[in-house]
Copies of this chain bind each other. A is one copy, B any other.
Amino acid sequence: MNVTILDIAKAAGVSKSTVSLVINESDKVKLETRHKVWQTINKLGYVPNMAARALTTSQTKTFGLIFLTSDETSLPYVLDSVPETLLYDVTYGINACLKNTDYSLLTERFSVSGQAKLPDLIKNKRVDGVFLIGGLYDDAFINLVLEQGIHVVIIGRRHEGVDSVSVNANKVGYLGAKYLLELGHRQIAFISGPAYSSISQEKQNGFAAAVAEKGVNMEQIYFIHSPYTGMGGYQALKQLWNEGVRPTAIFGGSDGITAGMIRFLYEQEISVPKDVSIISYEESVLSTHAPFSLTVIDGHKMQLGEMACMTMINRIKKQNAQEVTLIIEPSMIIRGSVKVMG
């Protein structure tokens, strides 16, 4: 079998518990013995058995990323479904933060509409804490998770009484509107997201605030709702066009929405930014790979993941510290899809 703590103890001429103390960096052990033990650990290539450690400490040293979806069978990337760019980037950020830590990350897609009450990761106690992402959860669900003695960090929105990390959505709308207004745009369409989404609403509020601040008439500002999908952006813009509206700038509330908008414009041979200006929100793989250099508001989704991870680690360290609510400020990445209006 493998090298165990007992082998080290024998080889180093000390007891099991001393080795354990050394491994766990206790300062109670004499420097000399500490050296001796580390040497034999390295010599014999000892690696702690996580399962055994988990059994005694009842800590798995594992976190779970629970992706809440309404429908678990939908393909993640056809034009008519929400692209999972948020999940990709947040996962990347969490993993980056977990690197050089003794924690690992498990991922589970969980359908809230399904029959299971709790994700398997939680039910089986495979994790010490979970990141909840995807928006589709309510107090009842969160409390159920908390009852299992599992820590929770919510990603993407604020939630009373629980640690959370999110993006300042109001600022997203504000920044986009401010930028467009400053470049002289006065006819602007903002396809922000679905009507039921509070995030989408906040973005509109921020947009409206910038418009008011600038003293611009709201008459030619079009707030439009659509799903966070390519098809959503496509159809919303198409309808607007069919109604005869001709904005000089269009603001997509997500990279998915913007991709759909771009498809409509391409179809109509409307050139960006010559004929119309475009700005997007998110900065995912979709905006960086757009057919032109796309000006975008960066939601810093990787950083979102990293900060969620830091929050989780702090929570583990200080179990009953005050709840943490982190808000990440979006920022503009000015590229080439917005024209200066005369």
Contact = CB atoms under 8 A, between A and B. Distances in A.
A263 to B, nearest CB: 5
A259 B289 CA distance: 6
Interface residues of A, number: 59
A266 interface: yes
Contacts of A263: 289-292
A218 B288 CA distance: 35
A88 B84 contact: yes
A15 interface: no
Given A85-B285, A107-B105, A108-B104, A92 B79 contact: no
B289 A79 contact: yes
A292 B266 contact: yes
Contact of A256 (B52, B76, B289): B289
Interface in A95-114: 95, 99, 104-109
Contacts of A16: none
A286 interface: yes
A266 B121 CA distance: 46
Nearest to A269: B271
Contacts of A262: 291
7 contacts: A78-B288, A99-B109, A104-B108, A256-B289, A259-B289, A263-B290, A267-B292
Interface of A: 2, 47-52, 54-55, 58, 60, 62, 72, 75-79, 83-85, 88-89, 91-92, 95, 99, 104-109, 120-121, 123-126, 230, 256, 259-260, 262-263, 265-267, 269, 271, 284-286, 288-292, 302
Given A77-B288, A107-B107, 20 more contacts: A47-B125, A49-B55, A49-B125, A51-B51, A51-B55, A76-B92, A77-B89, A79-B289, A83-B285, A88-B88, A95-B108, A104-B121, A230-B288, A230-B289, A259-B291, A262-B291, A265-B291, A286-B286, A290-B291, A291-B291
